[in-house]
Amino acid sequence: MSDPQPLQIDLLPGLDGDVCEELAVLAQRCIKGYSDDRPVSASLVRSRLANALTCAPPVLAVARDGRQVAGWCAVRRPEPGEVRARLWGPVVEPAARRAGLGRRLLQTVVEAAEWPLVTTDVPVDRDGATDFFTRPGWEVLDTITVLHGTPSAARPGAVTAADTTGLEAYVAAAARRFAGLESSLATSTLPRWRNDARFSAKTLLLDPPTGSLLLALVQRNATGSELLLAEVWAADTEVRGRLIAQAHTLAAERQVATVRAVTRQDPADFVTSGMRVTGRCRTFTLPGKH
């Protein structure tokens, strides 16, 4: 009996709703039980893969087993002012693993992309993930801490951006001061955030006296819900702690199941606020990709 033929991989020209739903369903199945387990929806997939400012579609490779998606890998093109493109995946159906499909998907998008590449956060607890990237020459760029916390209504209330005037200037100033973004990318920060399907001004917390902010994103689907603390830009430890505490109150008001944070900085402020470290991730970059 002959070996089965390898699945065909196609580069898709765009993202429609049906494709985003298929990618989301497979992604949710593949991360279950790992430290990055979270609600994955079609709108989340679209907001992560398509460019917020230019609306350019990703470089997207999809493998199908009949009509079912067996794996996918994507590269989100750089936004204006960014240097690197962001790699998402490969995401491979558990039953289709150990047959080289992930490497074929990765090679397909790497060859099609024209920019330096950096991966999304890859959990260190995922079997074989580090070797998957380091063996073909990718290098570790950064280490990230993942934390989880419990919503709490017993914490202080928050100032949100819902009724704030001059919000574009406020966010741009914070982006320059706390995130070190150059001027054009700092100015485009709020428009990029607004193009994320999860964004709401009601979950953008501000500390006007110091110009600090915390960006929180509500994520829901059929399997769960969370408040993701995506950015914490603050003047000092005291302000960071206050914003993190306020986010837990916000999570209780929004009736989400958990609070999650992902940080490249010292996680002490999150831990002090009652959050617990649940995992570590790494990002990888591909040297020599031009």
pLDDT per position as a tens digit, 42-87: 888 998 899 888 889 999 999 999 889 999 999 999 988 788 999 9
Residue 116 in this model has a pLDDT that exceeds 60: yes
pLDDT number for residue 4: 58
pLDDT number for residue 248: 94
Indicate left, alpha or beta for 136 from its phi (over 0: left) and psi (-120 to 50: alpha): alpha
Q: Which residue has the tokens 């009736």?
A: 255
Query: pLDDT tens across 256-281, in order?
Result: 999 999 998 899 999 999 999 999 99
pLDDT number for residue 2: 43
Mean pLDDT in residue range 115-144: 91
Side chain identity, residue 21: E
Quick one: 109 and 154 in the same domain?
A: no
Q: Which residue range is the domain that position 86 belongs to?
A: 9-120
Quick one: 113 and 151 in the same domain?
A: no
Quick one: 110 and 221 in the same domain?
A: no
Quick one: 104 and 193 in the same domain?
A: no
Quick one: 30 and 111 in the same domain?
A: yes
Question: Is residue 290, in this structure, part of any structural domain at all?
Answer: no
Mean pLDDT in residue range 234-263: 94
Quick one: 57 and 93 in the same domain?
A: yes
Question: Is residue 137, in this structure, part of any structural domain at all?
Answer: no
What is the DSSP secondary structure assignment for residue 41, as one 8-state letter?
Answer: -
Question: Is residue 286, in this structure, part of any structural domain at all?
Answer: no
Mean pLDDT in residue range 152-159: 74
What is the DSSP secondary structure assignment for residue 202, as one 8-state letter?
Answer: G
Burial class (CB in 10 A: 0-12, 13-18, 19+), 169: exposed
- Phi, then psi, of 130 in degrees rounded to 5: -65, -45
Neighbouring CB atoms inside 10 A of 120's CB total 16
pLDDT number for residue 1: 37
Angle at 25 between CA 119 and CA 94, to 5 degrees: 70
- Phi, then psi, of 176 in degrees rounded to 5: -70, -45
pLDDT number for residue 290: 55
Give dist(CA 241, CA 261) in Å, integer: 13
Q: Helices marked H in the chain — which ranges?
A: 17-31, 42-49, 101-112, 129-134, 167-178, 183-187, 189-194, 237-254, 268-272
Q: Which residue has the tokens 């306020």?
A: 246
Question: Is residue 53, in this structure, part of any structural domain at all?
Answer: yes
Angle at 284 between CA 278 and CA 289, to 5 degrees: 165
Question: Is residue 140, in this structure, part of any structural domain at all?
Answer: no
Quick one: 206 and 257 in the same domain?
A: yes
Question: Is residue 130, in this structure, part of any structural domain at all?
Answer: no
User: Percent of the chain, pLDDT > 70?
Assistant: 97
Query: For residue 284, what are the β-bridge partners?
Result: 140
What CATH number is attached to the domain comprising 89? 3.40.630.30
pLDDT number for residue 155: 64
Tell me which of 72, 101, 120 is where a domain ends: 120
Quick one: 163 and 75 in the same domain?
A: no
Give dist(CA 251, CA 234) in Å, integer: 20
Tell me which of 101, 120, 139 is where a domain ends: 120
Question: Is residue 236, in this structure, part of any structural domain at all?
Answer: yes
Quick one: 166 and 46 in the same domain?
A: no
pLDDT number for residue 234: 96
Quick one: 47 and 153 in the same domain?
A: no
CB-CB contact of 261 with 275 (8 Å) = yes
Query: pLDDT tens across 196-209, in order?
Result: 888 999 999 999 99
Quick one: 152 and 264 in the same domain?
A: yes
Query: pLDDT tens across 6-31, in order?
Result: 789 999 998 888 999 999 999 999 88
Question: Is residue 178, in this structure, part of any structural domain at all?
Answer: yes
User: Percent of the chain, pLDDT > 90?
Assistant: 65
CB-CB contact of 152 with 249 (8 Å) = yes
Domain count, the chain: 2
Quick one: 83 and 174 in the same domain?
A: no
Residues with Cβ < 8 Å from 251, sequence gap 6 or more?
151, 152, 216, 227, 258, 259
CB-CB contact of 214 with 243 (8 Å) = yes
Tell me which of 104, 120, 136 is where a domain ends: 120
Give dist(CA 167, CA 172) in Å, integer: 8
pLDDT number for residue 157: 67
